[in-house]
A = this chain, B = another copy of it.
Amino acid sequence: MVHDEKVADYIHENQGRFVKEIVRLASQPSVSARKEGISECAVIVKSMIEEIGGTTRVLQLPGAAPLVYGELKSSRSPKTVLFYNHYDVQPEVPLELWKSPPFKPEVRDGRLYGRGVSDDKGELVSRLKLIEAYVKVNGEPPCNVKFCFEGEEEVGSPHLEEYINKNAELFKSDAVIWEYGKIGSDGTPVVGLGVKGMIYLELTVRSLSQDAHSMYAAALPSAVWRLTRLLALIKDPHERILIPGWYDRVKDLAEDELKLLEEQPSEAQELLKTYGSKEFAAGMPLAQAKKSLVARPTANIAGIWAGYTGPGSKTVLPAEAHCKMDFRLVPDQDPAELTAKLLAYLKANGYGDVEVAFETSEPAARTSYKSDLAQAAIKAAKEVFQKDPAIEISSAGTGPLYVFTRRYGVAGLDIGISPVDSALHSPNENIRLDFFEKGMLWLGETVENYLAK
């Protein structure tokens, strides 16, 4: 039951070729954390836009990854839909847990495995090939289309806002389709209406000018013990962040949103299965886990290291201890304000000398489920999947959606092709090939429904 059966047929007939395009793109490593393969990957992405008839511009800020812009005009509608995606990927470590090489994508049992096949190269290809289908079948897309493909999303999009600010007309649009969308194991598509914000930082505690023999731990201070005590001040065992004022601007969900959350399935239970955990953090009940994923701030330790971490034993008192943390934020929480609160709290507790290096700082963004765009996606989901979609008031994840939605005052949402167990950011990242096709149809129908409003 889609608007354009011929487009649907084209998409079906060309699935094999589309998957090869994902393989083409995912075979090029593009690890932004290591600045590896980024410009090479930008070249491929640019070609891919041109191969479907788009015009391109490669924007380049000093020290930044290239931002690949593309557009296709249409006589069918005055409206413009912008597709935001990223061509960079997370580091592939730990390599030993991959069943096939991360940058040699491989199909096994109806799934394609490889770093980035879901996040975000598979999603990116789904957008491009949807527009290709319209161009091949109808000679043009259903409306004006803009592509914004960046190469630094996985390191917190440090230059995206500057790219947009400097090229404000270029990225103007009426609606934004965000990078990523989930489909549950039972085939329930998820309409994602927002993202959390994030502060990502690295803490360094120094206690000595050099590592010492650990026998001196009897008398000399330890950077590692000090770091563990600092961390205990940041979050309690009940998952409550202890930094004063951290929750000041955290609003509870509105009545109708709470009702929606209660009615909706959640990825929470699948998470326990996928990640082999018997219970949620701090033993929280399912309802709290659901709410926490959507609407609560987090404080996560993404990495910690100090001293000797090799095989066997080394008796050392480490001079320094490090950790990387990400704090997810909800709407109205202001990263700059929270950063100041964190630094003041560290100082007040005797940790004013601890080095805090900030990597990322971005606010949350949410679109109402009542908006035209959201309603278009909900309707499209019913048409394509023959079932009600799940509605995710906000993703648990982060992205710079605010850069577009705030500036242009438009709606933005997440819909796409990735299974909820796609192991994104983890070894054996994958997509389901059946969902890839359905997700493309859903994308197309969402745009058509939106244009028909």
Contacts and interface: CB of A to CB of B under 8 A. Distances in A.
A276 interface: yes
A224 B300 CA distance: 9
28 contacts: A33-B308, A33-B310, A33-B314, A154-B315, A155-B312, A156-B313, A200-B313, A209-B277, A210-B428, A215-B298, A215-B397, A219-B284, A219-B292, A221-B277, A221-B279, A224-B301, A275-B319, A300-B317, A301-B306, A302-B308, A302-B316, A302-B317, A303-B316, A304-B306, A304-B321, A313-B324, A314-B425, A315-B326
A16 interface: no
Given A221-B280, A277-B208, A237 B229 contact: yes
A315 B212 contact: no
A336 interface: no
Contacts of A220: 271-272, 275, 277, 280-281
Interface in A367-396: 395-396
A95 interface: no
Given A219-B292, A314-B303, A397 B33 contact: no
Listed from nearest, the 3 A-B pairs whose CB atoms lie closest are: A209-B276, A33-B312, A217-B300
A360 interface: yes
A219 B289 contact: yes
B33 A214 contact: no
A214 B302 contact: yes
A93 B207 CA distance: 18
A421 to B, nearest CB: 11
B318 A215 contact: no
Interface in A406-451: 423-428
B281 A221 contact: yes
Nearest to A229: B237
Of the four ranges (under 10, 10 to 19, 20 to 34, 35 or more), the interface on chain A belongs to 35 or more
Contacts of A232: 228-229, 232
B231 A225 contact: yes
A307 B301 contact: yes
Contacts of A1: none
A398 interface: yes
Nearest to A283: B221
A211 interface: yes
B90 A314 contact: yes
Given A218-B328, A222-B301, A277-B221, A93 B310 contact: yes
Interface string A186-226: 00000000001010100000011111111111111110110
Contacts of A427: 210-211
Contacts of A212: 271, 274-275, 425-426
Given A231-B225, A231-B228, A319-B275, A308 B324 contact: yes
Interface in A245-279: 268, 271-272, 274-277, 279
A309 interface: yes
B210 A276 contact: yes
A82 interface: no
B307 A307 contact: no
A97 interface: yes
A34 B313 contact: no
Given A91-B314, A219-B281, A304-B305, 10 more contacts: A215-B395, A221-B282, A224-B304, A225-B237, A302-B308, A304-B309, A305-B305, A308-B324, A309-B322, A309-B324
